[in-house]
Amino acid sequence: MKTDSKKTVIITGATSGIGLACARAFARDGYRVIVTGRSQSKLQPVVDELRQAGCDVMPLLFDVRDRAAAMAAVQGLPGQWQAIDVLVNNAGGALGLEPEYEGDFDDWDAMIDANIKGLLTMTRLVVPGMVARNRGHVINIGSVAGDAAYAGGNVYCATKAAVKALTDGLRIDVAHTAVRVTNIKPGLVETNFSVTRFHGDSARAEKVYDGIEPLTGDDIADVALYAANAPAHVQIAEVLVLATHQASVSVIHRQA
């Protein structure tokens, strides 16, 4: 168990984008930070950066889609790291933009396994301790895509709709405790999201953000930190965050 008053956050998918921005934001705010990632070569620079900034950091190398690996990593945390105050379920992503009837089976499995099952695995591993301690906060990174489908988004949109339902369901399940649950739903955020969606086609990915100033990972990390640091009696249940010229999942005004 922890012997000091410093809070501990665990952030999945912390090697880039929103996850990396959250790691930096929580570190600056004095949290003890557990960062997870699938690649040692990407995870180690994050660890080095945070340590150089004076942060207590613990790396966990595993893929959230691998339940056994996730269990071994979380259950193997040293004693002072086990009392997790904040869980940021960020790992996941989108793959492909084909019509549903032409979708790639492997892409579907990857999205469902990471965006839904990975989130469930981490929730199941971390939240029982929060309930037992009667404190804690789960922050799920959802998406505006969970509110409405868009062309080609089919399965990805379905996974983010599931994130909303799972977040709402968990909030109901822990209502008898002081554990808080938040769903953050970003719109267009310029990270490696689109590069991943298009399987490494960076030229195609860049066109997603043509004519509009998108959100950044830092913008979403600011929201996550605000929710985590709200007074104990305040639960930020859901936040929709859009770029100024994005009105909805599909209505975007682009400058010529």
Beta strands in the chain (DSSP E): 8-11, 32-37, 57-61, 86-89, 137-141, 180-186, 238-241
Output the pLDDT for position 207.
80
The reported pLDDT for the residue numbered 206 is: 78
| pLDDT at position 194 | 67
Flag the least confident range among 6-20, 24-38, 184-198, 211-225. Answer: 184-198
pTM (predicted TM-score): 0.94
Question: Which pLDDT value is given to residue 192?
Answer: 74
Model pLDDT for residues 36-67, shown as the tens digit of each residue: 999 999 999 999 999 999 999 999 999 999 99
Torsion (CA) 205, 206, 208, 213 in degrees, nearest 10: 140
Tell which CATH architecture fits domain 8-241: 3-Layer(aba) Sandwich (3.40)
Is 31 one of the annotated active-site residues of the chain? no
Question: Torsion-angle region of residue 9: left (phi > 0), alpha (psi -120 to 50) or beta?
Answer: beta
pLDDT at 202 over 80: no
pLDDT at 113 (0 to 100)? 98
Identified catalytic residue from 31, 101, 150, 156: 156
Confidence of residue 200 (pLDDT cuts 50, 70, 90): confident
pLDDT at 1 over 60: no
**Per-residue pLDDT at 5:** 80
pLDDT score at 57 = 98
Whether residue 184 is predicted with pLDDT greater than 70 in this model: the reply is yes
* Region of poorest pLDDT, from 67-76, 87-96, 194-203: 194-203
Task: Using pLDDT thresholds of 50, 70 and 90, give the confidence band for residue 146.
Answer: very high
Alpha-carbon distance of 244 to 256, in angstroms, equals 16
Which helix H or strand E contains 45, and what residues bound it? helix 40-52
